[in-house]
Amino acid sequence: MMSLLCITVISLTLAGRAYCETHGIKTVKAKLGETVTLPCKLHSSEDSITGHRVEWYKADDENSSFNFVVGSMGSHGWGSSSFDNRQYLQKTSENDASLVISDVSMDDTGRYRCEIINGEDDIEMDYDLVVESNAPEGVVFPYSPHGGRYILNFEHAEKACADQGAVVASFEQLFQEWEDGFDWCNAGWLNDGTVQYPINKPREPCGGSQNAPGLRSYGKRNKKTSRFDVFCFASKLSGHFYWLVQPERLSFDEAVQACLDDGAEIAKVGHMFAAWRLEGYDRCDAGWLADGSVRYPISNPRKNCSPNEAAVRLVGFPDKKKKSYGVYCFRPEQ
């Protein structure tokens, strides 16, 4: 019967947790392009893998056969040519046989097996590596209603986002959007009750030209009496956002009815932002949305269509009886 050595599993979330088993499968997640370590260590730092044969294998899924990745014996190492020298044994200490994979790709997803063999006390440990895309799960957008800027207390801000198919954004979501280049000079509520705004191009009206780029914060404000705009977060669409082709321009009420007649609903602001940011939706036609605004999404800037940047352009909140615009519709998944 095979005897077991304990190994120390240092995962992304549970550092230093010891396991004494050969059958447990741990899951490790990594973002596309990151460097990830699949731990495999002898339990005691005084133990050494010298004299042990170390081998790592990979299967594309739990039903596939394992293929060799890298191995070592003492000072000698060898590897599979299919891994482009991106996989190597970490060997930060005498007891370390962890596998490092740099610049992970979606093809690196799969089940990995570490084997430490000396003929008597053998170790086997499996990992499921999940490589996640860097594509955003949603989009943050600034929102102010028809009544103007800085009129929303926190309760009204929550309702405003909900009415647009979204929720009040978190600090982390706004920070990620700022890292991706979001720049907006009007302060808005976040879901922790703070009021902030993202600046990538410092300038005098927006916190001063001498200050570094970043999130400008007003701190926590009184949720009942303080009034600002709001940053909303819209998730990936569960349905179809589209421009409704019509022979004539429509009033707001006609636009609502036209979408209903097409088996859909008039789209919300959150739908447009999600389609624009997450699906690359691009159309240079101004159309009604559910809040009474008229907007259009441009992913490919060009003359007369947001020439300087990709953006959702706001035409305004025109007279709802005015027959000057088309309409964007949204058909939810059934």
Nearest to 296 by CA among 286, 305, 311: 286
Tokens of 19: 């396991």
SS3 (DSSP) at 205: helix
Mean pLDDT of the chain: 86
Residue 85's pLDDT band (cuts 50, 70, 90) = confident
Residue ending a domain, choose from 164, 199, 234: 234
> Is the residue at 314 inside a domain?
yes
More confident site: 235 or 87: 235
Distance CA 277, CA 180 (A): 12
What is the reported pLDDT for 31?
83
Residue ending a domain, choose from 81, 99, 132: 132
19-50 confidence digits (pLDDT tens): 323 346 889 988 878 899 999 887 665 567 77
What is the reported pLDDT for 82?
62
Domain of 274: which CATH number?
Answer: 3.10.100.10
Query: Are 55 and 42 within one domain?
Result: yes
Distance CA 249, CA 311 (A): 23
> Is the residue at 2 inside a domain?
no
Whole domain around residue 324: which residue ranges?
Answer: 237-332
Domain of 94: which CATH number?
Answer: 2.60.40.10
Query: Are 230 and 248 within one domain?
Result: no
Q: Which residue has the tokens 């690359």?
A: 280
Query: Are 49 and 128 within one domain?
Result: yes
What is the reported pLDDT for 137?
82
Query: Are 228 and 270 within one domain?
Result: no
What is the reported pLDDT for 160?
98
Distance CA 114, CA 38 (A): 9
Query: Are 117 and 12 within one domain?
Result: yes
What is the reported pLDDT for 57?
93
Query: Are 168 and 230 within one domain?
Result: yes
Residues 6 or more apart whose CB falls under 8 angstroms from that of 218 comprise 187, 194, 195, 196, 228
Q: What are residue 276's phi and psi, to 5 degrees?
A: -65, -50
> Is the residue at 230 inside a domain?
yes
Highest mean pLDDT among 18-22, 227-231, 303-307: 227-231
Nearest to 239 by CA among 269, 277, 265: 265
Query: Are 117 and 159 within one domain?
Result: no
Single-letter amino acid, residue 176? Q
Comparing 68-72, 109-113, 216-220, which segment has the lowest mean pLDDT? 68-72
Residues 6 or more apart whose CB falls under 8 angstroms from that of 173 comprise 138, 140, 231, 233
Tokens of 136: 């955003």
> Is the residue at 193 inside a domain?
yes
> Is the residue at 1 inside a domain?
no
What is the reported pLDDT for 17?
27
> Is the residue at 327 inside a domain?
yes
Tokens of 274: 């999600």
Strand partners, 168: 232
Total structural domains in the chain? 3
Ramachandran bin of 69, using left for φ above 0, alpha for ψ from -120 to 50, beta for the remaining angles: alpha
